[in-house]
Structure 1
């Protein structure tokens, strides 16, 4: 858990338990994280960004009882922010654009939202046996070749390809709701 996540989650827990000062600090800190989140996505709409910050903080406040204390706080909060942004863009009836000269501003540094994505990915991959998970991480996330990853984990190249294919097919089936073929179980550890 990152320091930022731990700090915000602690404030949220204390706020839910009735600590009004912790709640004020949480909303203030979240406002500081939400402003750049919205400004990066609105391309110059500072007024709109501030409106979205306020809407999101109000939604966090009113929906606080729906947050599961066992889950990361920032993932939940930024999901609310994403929905507020999508609603705003739909109301505007346009897609944001930016001049190509400003492309460097579109590439964000690491954000709290990235942590939520990593958490979801880690949770999905945790359902695989350790060797298969490591193989997927090396090939799909770290960019190693299949041959390099096979050598690293004690697979032949063909066995690594089969394991990757079956593992990915299993994950797609599990999360897309499709049934698995009997011969493609991801539980086979090669």
Structure 2
């Protein structure tokens, strides 16, 4: 939020009063973060992500009364996006993934310094895709600087569960990406 901009809590209050421009401001402020979050949570599913993104914002608008100033708007919106994504995953238990032929081949013992940055980014993204949805979500939210306490609220689990998910995600990523250290 830049200096002089209206705080999220005030915008939500105005949304409750029917001010559509307040909603437009929140949408403009956070749309990229929420879209990116859903896109990374469900990689390779662009059409699904578009639908879930719209569903998330519809639920934000429908649930404007349940928002309290005690929580950050973005954490609250991430929780809604999380629930929308989890509901989708439960409905479609078979996870669609990127076809194998679209993935880059694994390099053979190439030193870190000489590797192309794009290849490394791709390998990291692939490794993150292979995590469980819960672990992937923790990693992605931490990448965005969301505190563990807020991640626990978003996932509706204890902070210890979130810390455990992060621990196992890091272990798995270290195992998968060990050759790039």
Gaps in structure 2 of 5+ consecutive residues: 105-121, 129-138, 153-157, 160-166, 168-181
Contact 1:56 1:84 in 2 (8 A): yes
Instruction: Look up the match of 1:110.
Output: 143
* CA drift at 1:25: 1.7
Gaps in structure 1 of 5+ consecutive residues: 126-139, 141-190
Paired residues in the alignment total: 119
Larger-gyration structure (1/2): 1
* CA drift at 1:19: 3.4
* CA drift at 1:10: 4.6
- Tell which has more relative contact order, 1 or 2 (C-alpha 8 A, sep 6+): 2
Residues 30-179 of structure 1: matches in 2 within 5 Å? 30-95=30-95, 97=97, 102-105=122-125, 106=128, 108=140, 110-111=143-144, 114-119=145-150
Relative to structure 1, is the Cα distance of residues 69 and 24 closer, same or farther in structure 2, using a 3 angstrom cutoff? same
TM-score, with structure 1 as normaliser: 0.51
Instruction: Look up the match of 1:158.
Output: none
Contact 1:60 1:80 in 2 (8 A): yes
Contact 1:75 1:116 in 2 (8 A): no
TM-score, with structure 2 as normaliser: 0.53
1:12-65: per-residue Cα shift (whole Å, max 9, x none)?
344335432121121233322111111111111111111010000000000110
Contact 1:41 1:96 in 2 (8 A): no
Relative to structure 1, is the Cα distance of residues 42 and 89 closer, same or farther in structure 2, using a 3 angstrom cutoff? same
Note the aligned Cα RMSD (angstroms): 3.2
* CA drift at 1:117: 2.6
